[in-house]
Amino acid sequence: MDFRIEHDSMGDVAVPQEKYWGAQTQRSYTNFRIGEEKMPAEIISAFALMKKAAALVNCRIGKLDQKRCDLICRVADEIYAGKLSEHFPLVVWQTGSGTQSNMNVNEVIANRGNELAGEPLLHPNDHVNMSQSSNDTFPTAMHIAARLAVHHNLLPALTSLIDTFQCLEYQNRGIVKSGRTHLQDATPIAFSQEISGWRASLQEDKKMLIAALREVSSLALGGTAVGTGLNAPKEFGAMTAQMLSEMSGLAFRSAENKFHALTSKGELVFLHGALKALAADLWKIANDVRFLASGPRCGLGEIFIPENEPGSSIMPGKVNPTQCEALTMIAVQVIANDTAVSLAASQGNFELNVFMPVCIYNVLQSVRLLSDGMNSFNRNCAVGITANREKMRENLHNSLMLVTAISPYIGYENAAKTAKLAYEKNISLKEACVSLGFLSAEEFDRVFQPEKMI
């Protein structure tokens, strides 16, 4: 491998000839050989957007000449398009401020820009990082990346699953089944009502996510090193936020208090709390689906779900609810990630949080897993859910909790006696009620109508 010599404030460093990164990236690459978790691609893309917006603003206010601005924008577009991904090798487990990833982007833009220009026009600090500090660019990139990932990936996947449940509600109107509480038989419910509970839970999660996105739209850029805005024009933060809004099509704003924006990660905790709420609801829904589909002969068996692959290497013909299992494992990971995000956010010391890479790594992993998981569950399971009407009717009419229908006519205690006798003797509620002398057979038939109990 051929090397070239790059220089930073600490001296000379040998860098692979074919790589666009520079001395500070190489130092980090050498000194932090920890794990396999790379800085998320979403963060690199967010940095590219931010560097382009910053260059345009610096040019507009007269700090950066047009030629250098054009070069920065051109390379930033290449990075955003994923054309230079091999030039971002750094791991999550680096400096807690993310400084080395900020410099990785600065160096790649400078070296690639100079290659395009055919002369050394760009300096990573003086031009690409103009009016910025790693301490305000990394938290800004975190918010941009989280906002874009939720908007472009998570919300569409969530909306699609909500739409599927709305269709299932319509398709299953008029089907009455046994309700269940405490994993025990309960009073009847329409299957469409049960599905509506799933749908409404996801709609509430969507509202919470949208509320959290409004908070994540606040950007730290303009605060520079400690929040004072040293070396940045006063209007830089607001102008860059506006530029990012125009470029992304999403509303961003400059944080009112940059001291808060640099050290607190409360907005990301809020967002991840909404992600955790979604994960919890998805876990519940997936459990409902797999329990309702359990069987085929020894379980509840009230619904059919798609059979996608063999379920056992030893039991021929076995098919398992694998999409439900994948979704519940994702929920476990997201809920675990919430602990990491919360702990990372609590570690702001004085003017800076130094747990930022691990914080955003977990946020973006949760968004990615939930997005992919919902798409997979929707495509391979939810859209194919169908009711086993015969089994639902059998379970409904065998439920002892239908005794609730006659409780207003014979009283709570007599209804309880009826249910207990029916269970002990393995007879119907009607037989038990008549044998106890609480109602005649004709009276029982008149008041006992399970389909009207919903």
> 45, 127, 131, 182: which one is catalytic?
182
User: Residue 195's pLDDT is what?
Assistant: 98
SS3 124: helix
> 85, 312, 346, 440: which one is catalytic?
312
Q: How far is CA 438 from the centre of its chain?
A: 55
CB 149: neighbour CB atoms within 10 A? Answer: 21
CATH for 136-389, among 1.20.200.10, 3.40.30.10, 3.40.50.300, 3.30.70.2190? 1.20.200.10
User: Residue 341's pLDDT is what?
Assistant: 98
DSSP conformation letters of 252-300: -EE-S-HHHHHH--HHHHHHHHHHHHHHHHHHHHHHHHHHHT--SSSS-
User: Residue 1's pLDDT is what?
Assistant: 82
User: Residue 412's pLDDT is what?
Assistant: 97
Low-confidence ranges of the chain (pLDDT < 50): none
User: Residue 451's pLDDT is what?
Assistant: 86
Q: For the segment 119-158, what is each residue's pLDDT rounded down to a tens digit?
A: 999 999 999 999 999 999 999 999 999 999 999 999 999 9
Question: What is the rounded distance in angstroms from the CA atom of residue 193 to the CA atom of residue 169?
Answer: 7
User: Residue 265's pLDDT is what?
Assistant: 98
User: Is residue 182 among the annotated active site residues?
Assistant: yes
Name the CATH superfamily housing domain 399-452.
Answer: Fumarase/aspartase (C-terminal domain) (1.10.40.30)
Helix (H), strand (E) at residue 202: helix 191-216
CATH for 3-130, among 2.60.40.10, 1.10.275.10, 1.20.1250.20, 1.10.3720.10? 1.10.275.10
User: Residue 404's pLDDT is what?
Assistant: 94
Burial class (CB in 10 A: 0-12, 13-18, 19+), 89: middle
Q: Where are the domains of the chain?
A: 3-130, 136-389, 399-452
DSSP state of 173: T
User: Is residue 312 among the annotated active site residues?
Assistant: yes
